[in-house]
Structure 1
Amino acid sequence: RHLSAEALFEEASRSRLQVSLATVYNTLNQFTEAGLLREIAVDGTRTYFDTNIAEHHHFFIEDEGRVIDIPASAVEVSDVPPAPEGFEVARVDVVVRLRRKSPI
Protein backbone atom coordinates (compact mmCIF):
# COMPACT_ATOMS: atom_id res chain seq x y z
CA ARG A 1 0.00 0.00 0.00
CA HIS A 2 1.27 3.46 -0.88
CA LEU A 3 0.03 6.33 1.24
CA SER A 4 0.78 9.92 1.94
CA ALA A 5 0.71 11.46 5.39
CA GLU A 6 -2.21 13.62 4.27
CA ALA A 7 -4.25 10.62 3.11
CA LEU A 8 -3.59 8.77 6.36
CA PHE A 9 -4.51 11.89 8.34
CA GLU A 10 -7.81 12.13 6.42
CA GLU A 11 -8.55 8.44 7.12
CA ALA A 12 -7.90 9.00 10.82
CA SER A 13 -10.12 12.09 10.86
CA ARG A 14 -12.98 10.21 9.16
CA SER A 15 -12.62 7.52 11.83
CA ARG A 16 -12.87 10.24 14.48
CA LEU A 17 -9.31 9.65 15.69
CA GLN A 18 -7.86 12.85 17.07
CA VAL A 19 -4.33 13.08 15.76
CA SER A 20 -2.41 15.98 14.25
CA LEU A 21 -0.87 15.92 10.78
CA ALA A 22 2.53 16.51 12.43
CA THR A 23 2.05 13.37 14.53
CA VAL A 24 1.20 11.36 11.41
CA TYR A 25 4.35 12.65 9.66
CA ASN A 26 6.52 11.96 12.71
CA THR A 27 5.14 8.44 13.10
CA LEU A 28 5.59 7.60 9.40
CA ASN A 29 9.16 8.92 9.53
CA GLN A 30 9.90 6.85 12.65
CA PHE A 31 8.49 3.73 10.96
CA THR A 32 10.69 4.49 7.93
CA GLU A 33 13.79 4.88 10.11
CA ALA A 34 12.95 1.57 11.81
CA GLY A 35 12.73 -0.16 8.40
CA LEU A 36 8.98 -0.79 8.58
CA LEU A 37 8.11 1.56 5.71
CA ARG A 38 9.90 2.82 2.63
CA GLU A 39 9.77 6.49 1.67
CA ILE A 40 9.06 7.38 -1.97
CA ALA A 41 9.84 10.97 -2.94
CA VAL A 42 8.10 11.63 -6.25
CA ASP A 43 8.99 15.32 -6.38
CA GLY A 44 9.92 18.15 -4.03
CA THR A 45 6.42 18.43 -2.62
CA ARG A 46 5.02 14.89 -2.56
CA THR A 47 6.20 11.99 -0.46
CA TYR A 48 4.53 8.61 -0.17
CA PHE A 49 5.19 5.78 2.24
CA ASP A 50 5.24 2.19 1.02
CA THR A 51 4.41 -0.83 3.15
CA ASN A 52 6.40 -3.00 0.71
CA ILE A 53 10.00 -2.60 1.85
CA ALA A 54 11.42 -5.20 -0.57
CA GLU A 55 13.57 -3.96 -3.46
CA HIS A 56 11.34 -2.57 -6.23
CA HIS A 57 10.63 0.60 -8.20
CA HIS A 58 7.56 2.72 -8.93
CA PHE A 59 5.32 4.26 -11.54
CA PHE A 60 3.85 7.61 -10.48
CA ILE A 61 0.63 8.57 -12.27
CA GLU A 62 0.85 12.37 -12.29
CA ASP A 63 -2.82 13.09 -13.05
CA GLU A 64 -4.03 10.90 -10.18
CA GLY A 65 -1.23 11.21 -7.63
CA ARG A 66 -1.12 7.41 -7.54
CA VAL A 67 1.90 5.13 -7.10
CA ILE A 68 2.15 1.61 -8.58
CA ASP A 69 4.89 -0.94 -7.92
CA ILE A 70 7.34 -2.06 -10.61
CA PRO A 71 9.15 -5.34 -9.85
CA ALA A 72 12.89 -4.86 -9.34
CA SER A 73 13.54 -7.42 -12.09
CA ALA A 74 11.74 -5.18 -14.63
CA VAL A 75 14.29 -2.37 -14.32
CA GLU A 76 18.00 -2.70 -14.95
CA VAL A 77 20.08 -0.03 -13.26
CA SER A 78 23.56 0.13 -14.74
CA ASP A 79 26.42 2.56 -15.12
CA VAL A 80 25.86 4.15 -11.73
CA PRO A 81 28.82 6.46 -11.18
CA PRO A 82 31.17 5.57 -8.35
CA ALA A 83 30.32 7.23 -5.05
CA PRO A 84 32.68 9.98 -3.89
CA GLU A 85 35.40 8.95 -1.46
CA GLY A 86 34.01 8.15 1.96
CA PHE A 87 30.51 7.36 0.64
CA GLU A 88 28.67 4.28 -0.61
CA VAL A 89 25.48 3.93 -2.65
CA ALA A 90 22.71 3.05 -0.20
CA ARG A 91 19.91 2.55 -2.70
CA VAL A 92 18.82 3.57 -6.20
CA ASP A 93 15.17 4.58 -6.51
CA VAL A 94 13.53 4.64 -9.93
CA VAL A 95 10.25 6.55 -10.27
CA VAL A 96 8.77 6.47 -13.77
CA ARG A 97 6.29 9.32 -14.18
CA LEU A 98 3.17 8.58 -16.24
CA ARG A 99 0.30 10.63 -17.61
CA ARG A 100 -2.73 9.61 -19.64
CA LYS A 101 -2.36 9.85 -23.40
CA SER A 102 -4.18 12.73 -25.04
CA PRO A 103 -7.05 11.62 -27.29
CA ILE A 104 -6.06 11.63 -30.95
Structure 2
Amino acid sequence: MTAKLTDSVAQDRAGGWLAEAGLRPTRQRVALATLLVGDGKDRHVTAESLFDAVSTSGEKVSLATVYNTLRAFCEAGLMREITVDGSKSYFDTNITDHPHFFWEDSAELSDAPAEELEIKRLPEVPEGAEIAKVDVVIRLRKT
Protein backbone atom coordinates (compact mmCIF):
# COMPACT_ATOMS: atom_id res chain seq x y z
CA MET A 1 0.00 0.00 0.00
CA THR A 2 1.51 3.25 -1.09
CA ALA A 3 -0.47 6.01 0.65
CA LYS A 4 1.38 7.48 3.63
CA LEU A 5 -0.50 8.25 6.82
CA THR A 6 1.24 11.64 7.04
CA ASP A 7 0.19 12.74 3.53
CA SER A 8 -2.52 15.42 3.98
CA VAL A 9 -3.99 14.84 0.50
CA ALA A 10 -4.31 11.12 1.26
CA GLN A 11 -5.89 11.88 4.64
CA ASP A 12 -8.34 14.33 3.03
CA ARG A 13 -9.31 11.68 0.45
CA ALA A 14 -9.78 9.13 3.24
CA GLY A 15 -11.85 11.57 5.30
CA GLY A 16 -14.09 12.29 2.31
CA TRP A 17 -14.50 8.56 1.68
CA LEU A 18 -15.67 8.07 5.28
CA ALA A 19 -17.92 11.14 5.14
CA GLU A 20 -19.69 9.95 1.99
CA ALA A 21 -20.80 6.87 3.94
CA GLY A 22 -21.67 8.82 7.07
CA LEU A 23 -18.96 7.13 9.15
CA ARG A 24 -17.39 8.99 12.04
CA PRO A 25 -13.72 9.67 11.25
CA THR A 26 -12.04 8.06 14.27
CA ARG A 27 -8.24 7.98 14.38
CA GLN A 28 -8.18 4.28 13.50
CA ARG A 29 -10.71 4.61 10.66
CA VAL A 30 -8.82 7.52 9.11
CA ALA A 31 -5.53 5.61 9.36
CA LEU A 32 -6.98 2.51 7.71
CA ALA A 33 -8.93 4.50 5.10
CA THR A 34 -5.77 6.44 4.22
CA LEU A 35 -3.98 3.18 3.48
CA LEU A 36 -6.96 1.86 1.52
CA VAL A 37 -7.93 4.85 -0.65
CA GLY A 38 -5.46 7.62 0.14
CA ASP A 39 -3.67 7.27 -3.19
CA GLY A 40 -6.92 7.08 -5.16
CA LYS A 41 -6.30 3.52 -6.37
CA ASP A 42 -8.51 0.50 -5.82
CA ARG A 43 -7.03 -2.42 -3.95
CA HIS A 44 -7.74 -5.84 -2.51
CA VAL A 45 -6.59 -6.49 1.04
CA THR A 46 -6.96 -9.05 3.75
CA ALA A 47 -7.37 -7.95 7.34
CA GLU A 48 -3.91 -9.32 8.01
CA SER A 49 -2.24 -7.44 5.14
CA LEU A 50 -3.92 -4.19 6.21
CA PHE A 51 -2.88 -4.82 9.82
CA ASP A 52 0.72 -5.32 8.66
CA ALA A 53 0.62 -2.10 6.65
CA VAL A 54 -0.83 -0.02 9.47
CA SER A 55 1.60 -1.54 11.98
CA THR A 56 4.53 -0.70 9.69
CA SER A 57 3.31 2.89 9.58
CA GLY A 58 3.67 3.14 13.36
CA GLU A 59 -0.05 3.55 14.02
CA LYS A 60 -1.35 1.53 16.98
CA VAL A 61 -4.36 -0.49 15.80
CA SER A 62 -5.21 -4.03 16.90
CA LEU A 63 -6.02 -6.80 14.44
CA ALA A 64 -9.53 -6.98 15.96
CA THR A 65 -10.02 -3.28 15.21
CA VAL A 66 -8.89 -3.86 11.62
CA TYR A 67 -11.45 -6.66 11.23
CA ASN A 68 -14.22 -4.58 12.82
CA THR A 69 -13.36 -1.55 10.72
CA LEU A 70 -13.32 -3.53 7.47
CA ARG A 71 -16.75 -4.96 8.36
CA ALA A 72 -18.02 -1.44 9.11
CA PHE A 73 -16.67 -0.21 5.77
CA CYS A 74 -18.49 -3.08 4.02
CA GLU A 75 -21.75 -2.43 5.88
CA ALA A 76 -21.50 1.25 4.92
CA GLY A 77 -21.11 0.31 1.25
CA LEU A 78 -17.51 1.49 0.93
CA MET A 79 -16.03 -1.94 0.26
CA ARG A 80 -17.01 -5.43 -0.82
CA GLU A 81 -15.99 -8.63 0.88
CA ILE A 82 -14.92 -11.42 -1.46
CA THR A 83 -14.63 -14.86 0.13
CA VAL A 84 -12.35 -17.46 -1.40
CA ASP A 85 -12.51 -21.11 -0.33
CA GLY A 86 -15.24 -20.28 2.16
CA SER A 87 -12.69 -19.11 4.71
CA LYS A 88 -10.31 -16.51 3.27
CA SER A 89 -11.79 -13.01 3.02
CA TYR A 90 -10.49 -10.25 0.80
CA PHE A 91 -11.80 -6.70 0.92
CA ASP A 92 -12.14 -4.72 -2.30
CA THR A 93 -12.36 -0.92 -2.50
CA ASN A 94 -13.87 -1.23 -5.99
CA ILE A 95 -17.57 -1.72 -5.23
CA THR A 96 -18.73 -2.04 -8.83
CA ASP A 97 -19.88 -5.46 -10.01
CA HIS A 98 -16.82 -7.14 -11.51
CA PRO A 99 -15.13 -10.55 -11.57
CA HIS A 100 -11.86 -11.46 -9.88
CA PHE A 101 -8.83 -13.58 -10.53
CA PHE A 102 -7.55 -15.52 -7.53
CA TRP A 103 -3.89 -16.43 -7.95
CA GLU A 104 -3.48 -19.74 -6.14
CA ASP A 105 0.32 -19.59 -6.07
CA SER A 106 0.49 -16.24 -4.27
CA ALA A 107 -3.00 -16.14 -2.68
CA GLU A 108 -3.58 -12.73 -4.27
CA LEU A 109 -6.85 -11.39 -5.62
CA SER A 110 -6.98 -9.06 -8.63
CA ASP A 111 -9.67 -7.62 -10.87
CA ALA A 112 -10.60 -9.54 -14.00
CA PRO A 113 -11.86 -7.62 -17.04
CA ALA A 114 -15.63 -7.36 -16.58
CA GLU A 115 -16.23 -6.56 -20.25
CA GLU A 116 -14.91 -10.00 -21.19
CA LEU A 117 -17.22 -11.91 -18.85
CA GLU A 118 -20.47 -13.19 -20.26
CA ILE A 119 -22.98 -15.10 -18.16
CA LYS A 120 -25.63 -16.42 -20.51
CA ARG A 121 -27.90 -18.12 -18.03
CA LEU A 122 -28.29 -18.57 -14.30
CA PRO A 123 -30.25 -21.32 -12.59
CA GLU A 124 -33.84 -20.61 -11.71
CA VAL A 125 -34.10 -19.40 -8.15
CA PRO A 126 -36.51 -20.94 -5.64
CA GLU A 127 -39.92 -19.36 -5.23
CA GLY A 128 -39.85 -16.39 -2.91
CA ALA A 129 -36.18 -15.63 -3.60
CA GLU A 130 -34.29 -13.30 -5.89
CA ILE A 131 -30.65 -13.10 -6.92
CA ALA A 132 -28.92 -10.42 -4.88
CA LYS A 133 -25.59 -10.65 -6.70
CA VAL A 134 -23.31 -13.07 -8.47
CA ASP A 135 -19.67 -13.29 -7.42
CA VAL A 136 -17.24 -14.62 -9.99
CA VAL A 137 -13.81 -15.72 -8.81
CA ILE A 138 -11.62 -17.33 -11.45
CA ARG A 139 -8.84 -19.39 -9.92
CA LEU A 140 -5.46 -19.23 -11.68
CA ARG A 141 -2.07 -20.83 -11.25
CA LYS A 142 1.14 -20.04 -13.09
CA THR A 143 2.25 -22.53 -15.71
Normalising by the residue count of structure 1, what TM-score does the alignment of the two structures yield?
A: 0.90
What code does the residue aligned with 1:65 have? A
CA displacement 1:4-63 (0-9 Å, x = unmatched): 100000111111211111111111111111110011111122111111111110001011
Report the equivalent of 2:126.
Answer: 84
Report the equivalent of 1:33.
Answer: 75
Instruction: In structure 2, list runs of 5 or more residues that go unmatched.
Output: 1-42
The 5 Å alignment of 1:59-78 reads 59-78=101-120
What code does the residue aligned with 1:77 have? I
What code does the residue aligned with 1:23 have? T
CA distance in 1, matches of 2:113, 2:96: 10
Q: Output the aligned Cα RMSD.
A: 1.1
Instruction: In structure 1, list runs of 5 or more residues that go unmatched.
Output: none
Q: Percent identity over the alignment?
A: 57
| Partner SS, residue 56 of structure 1 | coil
State the aligned residue count: 101
Report the equivalent of 1:98.
Answer: 140
| Partner SS, residue 99 of structure 2 | strand
- Runs of 4 or more, structure 1, over 3 Å off, are none
- Alpha-carbon deviation of 1:89? 0.4
Between the two structures, name the one with larger relative contact order (CA 8 Å, sep ≥ 6). Answer: 1
| Partner SS, residue 59 of structure 1 | strand
Normalising by the residue count of structure 2, what TM-score does the alignment of the two structures yield?
A: 0.67
What code does the residue aligned with 1:31 have? F
